[in-house]
Amino acid sequence: MVGSRRLLIKNGVVVVYVVLSVLRWRSHRILRCFDRMASALASVALSAPFARGVPLPENPMVQRIGAGKIHDNRLFKGKAFRRVSMAVSVNVSRFDGVTMAPPDPILGVSEAFRADTSDLKLNLGVGAYRTEELQPYVLNVVEKAEKLMLERGENKEYLPIEGLAAFNKVTAELLFGADNPVIQEGRVATIQGLSGTGSLRLAAAFIQRYFSDAKALISSPTWGNHKNIFNDARVPWSEYRYYDPRTVGLDFDGMVADIKAAPDGSFVLLHGCAHNPTGIDPTPDQWEKIADVIQEKNHIPFFDVAYQGFASGSLDADAYSVRLFVRRGFELLVAQSYSKNLGLYAERIGAINVVCSSPDAGTRVKSQLKRLARPMYSNPPVHGARIVANVVGDPNLFNEWKQEMELMAGRIKNVRQRLYENLSQKDESGKDWSFVLKQIGMFSYTGLNKVQSEHMMDKWHIYMTKDGRISLAGLSLSKCEYLADAIIDSFHNLFTAALLVSKLVRPSKVNV
Ligand SMILES: Cc1ncc(COP(=O)(O)O)c(C=O)c1O
């Protein structure tokens, strides 16, 4: 009896609340008065013990705001905040239609790593260089360049849309070689970008605007963000074969066949060096053949160079593929990043270069890249650009940088060698682990599948992306033996189960 009376009262409160809300929506004149009454009723309804668990109806005004019809709306003036906060108090949001985004694959790995309290834990997920003590590393040349900048008392004025002129000059020279005819003849349109990702995104927007019928071809597998970038820019893409799980090597025939089968005039995304995630690069001879088929099909090469100098330790050797295509007369695009080779991850410094057949085309392309950049971010940040310009533009700092890069690349090579030795010595099955040595750059693609990679994390506290990629830049010599034990255990003991599961579950394509 008492219960039904309470329910009656509560329903009464709710009905009055709805009526007031509707009236409030209709009439501006009595807005202030109803506002107070509706607020009071809402708080009565919420504070009453029987209100718990019985949702109040939605405020029609809030729905209207949610639908975006907010022009000429007094809600945003004067009483607006009270009205909005009341909506919050009854648990209704104008953002109700916004669904939860899936967690970022790589940040998810790092979060899980941070939450793990084991002393054994090892983060091989993130593609960032660590010292032998597994600490982040700021290059000496970067510190010197920053000191120079402070001494000069440089200002923080806006850069032009295309970025810092001194940076654009040295970045193109570093990539193509200062004496390259395309530089001498002024045929390269270079603009500073927000690191590798931002530069790729700008190029994708350019493709979407000027080649709306063209599609992009990306390797399978590739760096996970390539798909996001083309999706967001609304550039259709498809994959060409790249990785052969049987050999843990390059599926060269598959790659060439797929590039050949693509519609003429496609943009072929190629990793300039140190392919992410596989660490498998074509040989010089294979690059020539790839160039042949791209030429034959009238495709446009689009290089992503995120690891120049980091793959082999030599800036020139790592620019081999790009320079080959330029030598062969292609018009092409190249996105550059200084996140890895100068350790400027957080400075967001990179560039997009478009090699054109004439200086006039270069000028026009550059003007359109600037036009795309202006509404996106207006102009790029200056700090990282000055660091690069100072390091590359100063012969002493440049030489020092090359030595530091050799040290970083050398440490990764040592770790790679040690891991291979541990795997070969400890694995009694006789499995051939030499693919670890053949891969190049920061990463090794272990061949472990999703289930095996999860086992690495669950049992061994080793965090890696679920496609089996490990970052050797996050590994020290002293941890190689432990890692080898974990890989051998995961590979052999989960082999049958993993095979079964991989038939049921789509393979994970997660990496950064
Ligand atoms: C292949 C590839 N391209 C581009 C990037 C872009 O990196 P950032 O935006 O930090 O320069 C990365 C980073 O991991 C990468 O691996």
pLDDT tier at 12, thresholds 50, 70, 90: low
The amino acid that residue 223 corresponds to is W
| Cα 269 to ligand 1 centre (Å) | 13
Residue 47 CA to residue 27 CA, distance in Å, equals 28
pLDDT, position 222: 95
**45 pLDDT higher than 50:** no
Residues framing ligand 1 (Cβ under 6 A)? 127, 195-197, 223, 271, 276, 304, 306, 337, 339, 345, 350, 512
pLDDT, position 102: 84
Atom of ligand 1 nearest to the CA of 197: 9
Contacts with 98 (C-beta within 8 Å, 6 or more apart), sequence order? none
CA dihedral 135, 392, 338, 436 (to 10 degrees): -70
Q: Which residue has the tokens 């949610």?
A: 66
pLDDT higher for 214 or 508?
214
Cα–Cα distance list, 168 to 62, 162, 272, 338 (Å): 49, 8, 19, 13
pLDDT tier at 91, thresholds 50, 70, 90: confident
- Token pair recorded at residue 463: 């965090």
- Strand 249-250 relative to strand 267-271, pairing: unpaired
Nearest CA to ligand 1 atom 2: 306
Ligand 1 pocket mutation pick from 199, 202, 307, 339 by most atoms within 8 angstroms of CB: 339
Q: Which residue has the tokens 């030429």?
A: 295
Mean predicted confidence (pLDDT) in 195-202: 98
Q: Which stretch of 76-85, 87-96, 221-230, 283-292 has the lowest confidence by average pLDDT?
A: 76-85
Residue 448 CA to residue 283 CA, distance in Å, equals 25
pLDDT, position 382: 98
Mean predicted confidence (pLDDT) in 387-404: 96
pLDDT tier at 355, thresholds 50, 70, 90: very high
Nearest CA to ligand 1 atom 12: 306
Percent of the chain residues past pLDDT 70, beyond the cut:
79
**DSSP percent split of the chain into helix, strand, coil, nearest 5:** 55, 10, 35
| Cα 304 to ligand 1 centre (Å) | 8
Ligand 1 pocket mutation pick from 337, 349, 443, 510 by most atoms within 8 angstroms of CB: 337
Atom of ligand 1 nearest to the CA of 350: 11
Which strand (E) or helix (H) includes residue 443? strand 443-445
Residue 503 CA to residue 146 CA, distance in Å, equals 53
Query: Could you read off the pLDDT of 141-178 as tens digits, one per residue?
Result: 999 999 999 999 999 999 999 999 999 999 999 999 99
Nearest CA to ligand 1 atom 10: 339
Contacts with 373 (C-beta within 8 Å, 6 or more apart), sequence order? 161, 162, 191, 202, 379, 380
Instruction: State the catalytic residues.
Output: 223, 304, 340
- Token pair recorded at residue 151: 């001494």
pLDDT, position 223: 92
| Cα 197 to ligand 1 centre (Å) | 6
Mean predicted confidence (pLDDT) in 354-379: 98
DSSP, collapsed to helix, strand or coil, labels residue 7 as helix
Residues facing 259 on adjacent strands: none
| Cα 334 to ligand 1 centre (Å) | 13
Ligand 1 pocket mutation pick from 219, 228, 304, 465 by most atoms within 8 angstroms of CB: 304
| Cα 453 to ligand 1 centre (Å) | 22
pLDDT tier at 184, thresholds 50, 70, 90: very high
- Strands (DSSP E) along 169-285, which ranges? 188-194, 216-220, 237-241, 243-244, 249-250, 267-271
Ligand 1 pocket mutation pick from 218, 223, 338 by most atoms within 8 angstroms of CB: 223
Atom of ligand 1 nearest to the CA of 337: 11
Contacts with 324 (C-beta within 8 Å, 6 or more apart), sequence order? 284, 287, 288, 291
Residue 300 CA to residue 354 CA, distance in Å, equals 11
Atom of ligand 1 nearest to the CA of 304: 3
Residue 46 CA to residue 56 CA, distance in Å, equals 9
Residue 507 CA to residue 303 CA, distance in Å, equals 26
Query: Could you read off the pLDDT of 396-455 as tens digits, one per residue?
Result: 999 999 999 999 999 999 999 999 999 999 999 989 999 999 999 999 999 899 999 999
- Token pair recorded at residue 25: 């929506």
pTM: 0.80
| Cα 33 to ligand 1 centre (Å) | 57
Say whether the peptide bond before residue 221 is cis (omega within 30 degrees of 0): yes
